[in-house]
Each structure stands twice: as structure tokens, then as C-alpha cells.
Amino acid sequence: LQFARHIKKSEGQKTPKVELQISIYGVKILDPKTKEVQHNCQLHRISFCADDKTDKRIFTFICKDSESNKHLCYVFDSEKCAEEITLTIGQAFDLAYRKFLESGGKDVETRKQIAGLQKRIQELETENTELKNKVQDLENQLRITQVHASPAGSVTPKSPSTDIFDMVPFSPISPQSSTPTRNGTQPPPVPSRSTEISK
């Protein structure tokens, strides 16, 4: 961390800031602006905590990760209050142990059950969000296929244009006139020529 700090200083970069919340339940590492929890280290999973005696700004603790079951080392640059933070974590251990003795160990089991339920709730919320997104995608695909599959007769005809520039003087499609006669009936169909029949 010290080496990285010197490199970042020379490059003009800053180490990202975090906020720590220390309680008898653990150490929470939060984003200082959004207050979003980045890491939640339960106290019974922390196995080591110390500040650097040569650099009063640096302290660390080791915590066993609940998901990967690996030991992770968290190192912090605390702007000259590292010793106070390690003492606070030590006090949290003392208070948690006293509470454990007073409750006869029931409190730890309750907290483990609550932590398990919270984790399950988080998993279900994530799964729920994914399912909502899938449903939305399927609805969008269904709308697209309905638009492409709609028959041509179902399209509402456009009203004829009154603009003289849009009007076509002659229709090349059919030589037969489909306009009604004056009494409202259609004229009889014109018989086809014999040459057209042979073709």
C-alpha cells in the first residue's frame, strides 16, 4: 500500500476513500457518498487486526469471507488515526464477548440466522430482478412478432390525399375501370380475347 501510494501520488491519482462503521456485529465498509455497503465483515469472522507501528496511518484486519471461505486482508490508509481505529475494533470485540456471555450464546445463533435470512432475501431479490427483466424482454419480443405477423388487411387504410401533387393521373395496375355507373351498379366484365385465353 505504501508503494502504491507513492506511485499514485507521482501519477496524480488518489486512493479511493471509504467510510468504516464499527459495531459489536462487525465492520462495514461503505462508499462515503452513496453510503452503499461495499463489504460487511462480521466480527466473529475477523481473526487479526493491527496498525503499522512504523507508519501511523496504516492499519489492517484479516477476515474470513463467508462465500469463498478464504481469508482476505483489508489494508487502510487512515490519515494518522490508525491506532484509534484498531482500538475501537478491539473494544467492539470486548463488548461482543460480554454480550455473548450475558445471553449464553443465544445472541450469536440469532445473528447467524438473521445473516442467513438476509443473504437469502438478497439472493431472491436478485433472482426476482432477473426474472422481471426476462419477462420484459419476452413481452417486447411478442410485440415485435405481432407487428410483423399482422395481416395486410388489418392495416387501416390511409385516407386519400387531397394534395394534387400526390395524385396519380393514370393507374398502370389494371386497364379495367372499377368505378360504378350512374345508377350505382358495376358494368359487366369485358370478355377476354381468345389470344389471351390460349396464353
What per-residue confidence (pLDDT) applies to 116? Answer: 79
Query: Do 56 and 110 lie in a common domain?
Result: no
Query: Do 109 and 58 lie in a common domain?
Result: no
Q: Cell 443473504 belongs to which residue?
A: 119
Query: Do 128 and 72 lie in a common domain?
Result: no
Strand order in the sheet with 58-64: 46-51, 58-64, 71-77
What per-residue confidence (pLDDT) applies to 185? Answer: 54
Beta carbons of 60 and 78 less than 8 angstroms apart: no
Q: How far apart are CA 183 and CA 155, in angstroms?
A: 31
Total number of domains constituting the chain: 2
Question: Model pTM?
Answer: 0.49
Angle at 5 between CA 56 and CA 19, to 5 degrees: 65
Q: How far apart are CA 133 and CA 140, in angstroms?
A: 11
| Residues of the chain where predicted confidence (pLDDT) is lower than 50 | 154-155, 157, 171, 174-175, 177-178, 180, 195-196, 198-199
* Residue span of the structural domain in which 55 resides: 19-103
